[in-house]
């Protein structure tokens, strides 16, 4: 089997993957991703035991146990570009032999659960609620750099999204990927479900106006009013579509859980977002440790 070149798979002096600075034995098959590096400890403080702690740039990794369930929590930083690094390197850690630089004959499937924050795009998905994303719809273009396939439902949703919003003429080519039903089925009680849109920025790409005018002032209305059958867009943020798209292409199970800290329709913001995020962490860890 052909070796992967040193320039493509970068391994540091301690035998760890380049950006995460994690070795294969230091990562679990159940992985929680968070955007904020400080949030890693907010998750791992609930572990019964912590085996490894690594920190390189914005990427912090803690691996440990809740009971006999081994879990890693990894910070990604903000945005689809960072997700490109994290998902590819997590896959490399479990599916590439670092000594021979070849792909393993038997591939592992990771469970990747994002715990993050988001803004609601529906009046009935209020601040301080939770969303489990049924789909990640990207207007960031990341997945367009990879070979990927859609099922028939995904093809129909993205076709109607492009037709209804005409966003492809401004933002390139939107894409969509579904959550893993293997994971999503566990996150129903207490979670809204819907399409999460992923944007490549926080201000203009999410329709915010400070000093700069924006090219698409009707963005919020277009996203809020989109419908395809029972599907609607519930919220938007900056990571989910990249996680779902890369995860699906690499054959991992992914789900994105969002604490709603802002409602762009009601124009309000959570009064205590740290408490809300803590509630989502505890609720999600209970499911992960019991069901996965």
DSSP for 131-159, written as a single string: EEEEEEEESS-GGGGS-----HHHHHHHH
Q: Please say if the pLDDT value at position 1 is more than 80.
A: no
Q: Please say if the pLDDT value at position 289 is more than 80.
A: yes
pLDDT of residue 166: 81
Q: Please say if the pLDDT value at position 167 is more than 80.
A: no
pLDDT of residue 170: 67
Rounded Cα distance, 148 and 102, in Å: 22
How would DSSP label each residue in 230-272? TEEEEEEESSHHHHHHHHHHTT-EEEEEEEEEEETTTTEE-S-
Distances (CA, A) of 76 to 14, 53, 81, 282: 21, 15, 10, 20
Report residue 185's pLDDT band, with 50, 70 and 90 as the boundaries.
very high
Rounded Cα distance, 290 and 279, in Å: 17
Domains in the chain: boundaries: 11-291
Asked if CATH classification 3.40.50.1580 holds for the domain at 11-291, the reply, yes or no, is: yes
pLDDT of residue 248: 98
pLDDT of residue 168: 67
Query: Max alpha carbon distance in the chain (Å)?
Result: 56
Between strands 231-237 and 111-120, the pairing is antiparallel
Task: Tell me the β-bridge partners of 34.
Answer: 75
What are the pLDDT digits (tens) for 119-151?
999 999 999 999 999 999 999 999 999 999 999
What are the pLDDT digits (tens) for 4-58?
999 999 999 999 999 999 999 999 999 999 999 999 999 999 999 999 999 999 9
Which of helix, strand or coil describes residue 186?
coil
Rounded Cα distance, 180 and 111, in Å: 9
Structure tokens at 91: 């896959």
Distances (CA, A) of 201 to 117, 128, 250, 260: 14, 23, 25, 18
Q: Where are the alpha helices (H) located in the chain, listed in sequence order? A: 39-44, 80-95, 152-165, 168-171, 181-184, 219-225, 240-249, 273-291
Counting residues of the chain whose pLDDT is more than 90, the rounded percentage is 96
Rounded Cα distance, 157 and 195, in Å: 10
Between strands 175-178 and 130-138, the pairing is antiparallel
Distances (CA, A) of 228 to 231, 232, 251, 275: 5, 7, 26, 34
How would DSSP label each residue in 221-236? HHHHH-EETTEEEEEE
Select from 93, 94, 117, 123 the least CA-distant residue to 12. 93
Q: What value does the mean pLDDT take over residues 74-85?
A: 98
Own/partner pairs, 170-175, CB within 8 angstroms, 24+ separation = 170/215, 170/216, 171/139, 171/141, 171/216, 172/139, 172/141, 172/144, 173/141, 173/144, 174/137, 174/138, 174/139, 175/137, 175/138, 175/143, 175/144, 175/148, 175/241, 175/245
pLDDT of residue 233: 98
How many CB atoms sit inside 10 A of residue 272's CB?
11
């Amino acid at each position: 089997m052909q070796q992967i070149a040193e320039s493509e798979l970068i391994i540091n002096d301690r035998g760890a993957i380049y950006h995460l600075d994690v070795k294969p034995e230091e990562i679990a098959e159940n992985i929680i991703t968070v955007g904020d590096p400080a949030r890693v400890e907010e998750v791992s403080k609930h572990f019964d035991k912590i085996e490894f702690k690594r920190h390189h740039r914005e990427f912090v990794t803690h691996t440990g146990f809740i009971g006999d369930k081994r879990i890693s929590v990894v910070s990604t930083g903000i945005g689809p570009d960072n997700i490109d690094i994290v998902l590819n390197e997590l896959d490399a850690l479990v599916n590439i032999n670092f000594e021979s630089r070849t792909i393993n004959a038997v591939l592992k499937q990771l469970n990747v659960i994002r715990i993050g924050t988001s803004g609601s795009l529906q009046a009935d998905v209020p601040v301080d609620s939770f969303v489990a994303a049924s789909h990640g719809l990207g207007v960031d273009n990341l997945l367009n750099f990879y070979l990927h396939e859609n099922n028939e439902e995904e093809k129909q949703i993205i076709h109607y999204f492009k037709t209804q919003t005409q966003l492809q003429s401004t933002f390139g080519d939107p894409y969509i990927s579904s959550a893993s039903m293997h994971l999503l089925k566990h996150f129903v009680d207490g979670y809204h479900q819907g399409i999460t849109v992923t944007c490549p920025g926080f201000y203009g790409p999410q329709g915010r106006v400070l000093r700069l005018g924006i090219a698409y002032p009707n963005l919020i209305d277009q996203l809020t009013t989109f419908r395809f059958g029972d599907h609607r867009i519930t919220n938007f943020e900056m990571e989910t579509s990249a996680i779902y798209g890369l995860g699906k292409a690499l054959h991992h199970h992914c789900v994105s859980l969002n604490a709603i800290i802002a409602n762009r329709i009601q124009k309000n913001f959570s009064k205590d977002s740290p408490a809300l995020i803590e509630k989502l962490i505890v609720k999600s860890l209970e499911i992960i440790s019991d069901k996965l």
